Structure 1
Amino acid sequence: MKQKDVLFKEIESKSEDYYIPPQDAKIDRVWKAIPGLNGLKVDIEASYKKMKPNGVFSEEKLVFHQIQPKVNLSDLPPNPIYKGHPDKQMVSLLINVAWGNEYLTDMLATLKKHNVSASFFLEGRWAQNNPELARMIEAAGHEIGNHSFTHPNMEIISSSKTREEIQKTNEVIKAITEKPIKWFAPPSGSYRNETVQIAAEEKLGTVMWTVDTVDWKKPSPEQLLNRVMSKVDNGSMILMHPTDPTAKSLNQLILQLKQRGFQIGTVSELLSSERTIDYYHLGKGNNEETN
């Protein structure tokens, strides 16, 4: 018992060295809304149970739990979101779909090969005309978002037209996939403050992008890869479309992102305050987590 008590006190004492405070979501002057990030705290009781058979302290047997921030994205006033938290080693692929059907099957096959989930933002008109493809995307486990109904310039259309574009697309996608939608990506990144406000009233967050592949300009796969990999960082949202350059470079892009240590998640995963396994203080990747 004396040895166990000493071990418990050692874990209790050392746990302070591993504590990472949570970070609140905030409005940044440049990047607008930035999500928060959970903190980490050693679970002393659970860690003790793992170490007591050997009776000695072991970093690798520490058990952590995450601590949620007090302020989350949902607590902030409506603002566009350009990136995830800069300390979260995750990126997201945003695929806007209003055309390019001939490249979708290959892109979906590549994503499946690497077990990567992306966020597809569908134009409502496209989804209405291509329900089978829309269902194929959803059935493959990808996140579906709203990309307006007719791809207008959201910065200049009327408030009533803005609401109509968002509502009609929500209705079409929900009818096809039977899933609610969480995010809105304005066509061409054009919006005004009222656009973001109306989207929020329709229960959608407005997302932009951090890195643009500019794949519609038909760069070579090498140019596309160089463009992305020279700009990508923690929390980046990478914009792409179903194009020939993207279809040809997607396999290599995913490999290079993973080689750089990035996890690839959906927009919802990226913008959550949840830490990735890589963010455990020890970086061992084998810690258990309790919530």
Structure 2
Amino acid sequence: MEKDQLPTRRTLLTGVAALGAAGAGGALAAGLGTEPARPPAPAPGPPQRSPLKPSEYRLRPLAGHGAAHATPRRPPVRSEPILRVTGRGRTMLLTFDDGPHPEYTPQILDTLAKYEVRATFFVCGEMADYNRDLLSRMSDEGHVVGNHTWSHPLLTSLTRRRIRSEMERTSEVVEQAYGEAPRWFRAPYGAWNRAAFQLGAELGMEPLAWTVDTLDWTTPGTGTIVDRVEDGAAPGVVVLSHDAGGDRSQSVRALRRYLPVLLDSGYHLTVPRRRLL
């Protein structure tokens, strides 16, 4: 589904930005803190990069998740989505929405595997249902799969019953193909409401938003996407990109460029755990 076909997209993103400014300071009191200052722009010229040491970036098996089919503790009902993460050092999350896509998602997974980095994929159920093999691969390679509803609707326009159906159907597919029900969800377009928070919690999921939006769905050019990620990089940042919903070749090429730069800059690219939030 092409996001630029929905006239509400820019308005909704503006609302999410305002929510982040209001909520990041103290409401999500799980130690999220205030937003760090943006690092200064790099000096011109090619960066001096030391050789990668993959063992420094390889993540240990996921902690805090328990056995694959263990019943998770029901999370609290929040009034705002989580916008940032905490963790030792320069911790960041890379997240990808709307997939899995049979062309672009494997390329993203290949790049992540090359640098031994894990990411979070917020999948749409109708896409996941047709690409279950990719969810299995995500499980095998240690990525986290979250719930992005079944058909990517605007939740604020749906009844409570429809919202539940969108979430439940997706969770069922994820559990079948990934091996574990999702513990995280993200509202399409960043449009949250009370029912979404309540139903997500009832299904054992925490709401995760983002801090840096690459706006890659607008296909602004590979270089622009790279600049947005590198300029916005800071401890606790959650980066939003897409692996479906249109031509995502720019997103794939951008990942190949900014991922090694982030690693060489000392960023720890991880996946969400309850203890990180």
Pairwise same-fold verdict (TM > 0.5): yes
- Shift of the alpha carbon at 1:29? 4.2
Once residues 260 and 99 of structure 2 are traced to their aligned partners in structure 1, the CA distance between those partners, rounded to angstroms, is 27
Match of 2:166 in 1: 165
Give per-residue Cα distances to partners, 1:72-117, cap 9 Å, x unaligned.
xx88652310111387520001111336431122111110010000
For structure 1, the residue ranges without an aligned partner over 5 or more in a row are: 1-26, 38-73, 275-291
For structure 2, the residue ranges without an aligned partner over 5 or more in a row are: 1-19, 33-73
Match of 1:198 in 2: 199
Once residues 92 and 157 of structure 1 are traced to their aligned partners in structure 2, the CA distance between those partners, rounded to angstroms, is 30
- Shift of the alpha carbon at 1:162? 0.8
Q: Is the 8 A contact 2:117 2:270 kept in 1?
A: yes
- Shift of the alpha carbon at 1:172? 1.1
SS of the residue corresponding to residue 28 of structure 2 reads strand
Percent of paired sites with the same residue: 26
Match of 1:36 in 2: 31
Match of 1:248 in 2: 253
Once residues 244 and 191 of structure 1 are traced to their aligned partners in structure 2, the CA distance between those partners, rounded to angstroms, is 29
Q: Is the 8 A contact 1:120 1:142 kept in 2?
A: yes
Match of 2:240 in 1: 239
Q: Is the 8 A contact 1:81 1:206 kept in 2?
A: yes
Change (3 A) 1:142 1:99: closer
Identify which of structures 1 and 2 has the higher relative contact order when contacts are C-alpha pairs closer than 8 Å and 6+ apart: 2
Change (3 A) 1:77 1:152: closer
Match of 1:263 in 2: 268
- Shift of the alpha carbon at 1:207? 0.7
Change (3 A) 1:155 1:210: same
Match of 1:174 in 2: 175
After superposition, where does 1:76-95 map in structure 2 within 5 Å?
A: 77-78=77-78, 79-85=80-86, 88-95=89-96
User: Which of these two proteins has the greater Rg computed from alpha carbons?
Assistant: 1
User: TM-score, with normalisation over the residues of structure 1?
Assistant: 0.67
Match of 1:272 in 2: 275
User: TM-score, with normalisation over the residues of structure 2?
Assistant: 0.70
- Shift of the alpha carbon at 1:28? 8.9
- Shift of the alpha carbon at 1:154? 1.0
Once residues 156 and 208 of structure 1 are traced to their aligned partners in structure 2, the CA distance between those partners, rounded to angstroms, is 19
Structure with a larger share of its residues in strand: 1
